[in-house]
Structure 1
């Protein structure tokens, strides 16, 4: 598997490269947006790790050019930005997932494995649990093939839990993923619980059989077929 890392922080990019090499990935690097596009249009990659704040061309411009030229390689955004709107913008432009800096290398590797498993075809945009199906590209949610209307934050929570299927996700990690720097640590727990309650109601999960409460930790969606 060949991965391209695009970031302008030499220390971080080399740290990620060493970890990926130990996992037996083939790794290339680019330090600005123009160099990144040159590599993307010449070589073939299985996954791209893309920072948003880049010299010459920012990450949004890179992914916009990729998708305009029909390059369907999965993209994991790496960004220091905490605003939900910035993350949604990247996803709407064609990114497949994102991580907010600083992040753990363990979580980075988990996200990489998920995106590589999903592959590059249309099905890669779909996450599913029983009768619930979400399309991460179109931002649509279906229950028994009927559309479900979620708020942007409800969608991000459901998407995050599905990406981390079979893993207990803490309330802090949910808040960090969905609210970024906007969340208040004092009201965080109650705020998330309210969103989970509303989300369960909309996906017909009042008893918490789909979104399970993990006491003392947070929440989890479990794949019962495994």
Structure 2
């Protein structure tokens, strides 16, 4: 695979994610996400840091408006949500189930141009980090194979790679101590993997890492789960 078939590093920006969303609107896929956050704990009776972890697995069939997500962890809680484009079925951690009208924060919000990438993270209070990482300055690191697909690896390393606009107009080094991001892009413009890490210089929140991994493109099947048939009406 020739490197010329992939964009130059200077082209890695929001348009790459928009193109990815357009490609994913015409096929099925599975998206696995993982978020880890480490906070300083200032109270002397507690440990120095607190770790919070979260994982999600989204199964998506946009052509049929069917989505199923399983979440585990601190930010999303433990449970599952199934959407058929008009209603949501929710399975809670205590095995309670409910059905409700499709909400603005549905499994994948089809009213948003970016729903195919963001999923439930559209309401994440740390979403600005996604933008900051996307707007960083990337370097091409060569072609490799990821899950059997040729991809170009793009990396942004160091606080100097960040735009100062994401640090309140100040030098990014006054806010962040470390930064790194990796993006794996295939020849069709599909983002196969994307991850980033921020480490704050002075903040209660010490470190956040976030990763998105795409798999089973074109071969993901979504079916209404058995527990959704037992769901009761909710708000």
Between Structure 1 and Structure 2, which shows a larger proportion of helix residues? 1
Same topology, TM > 0.5: no
Between Structure 1 and Structure 2, which shows a larger proportion of strand residues? 2
Q: Rg: which structure is higher?
A: 2
TM-score, L = length of structure 2: 0.23
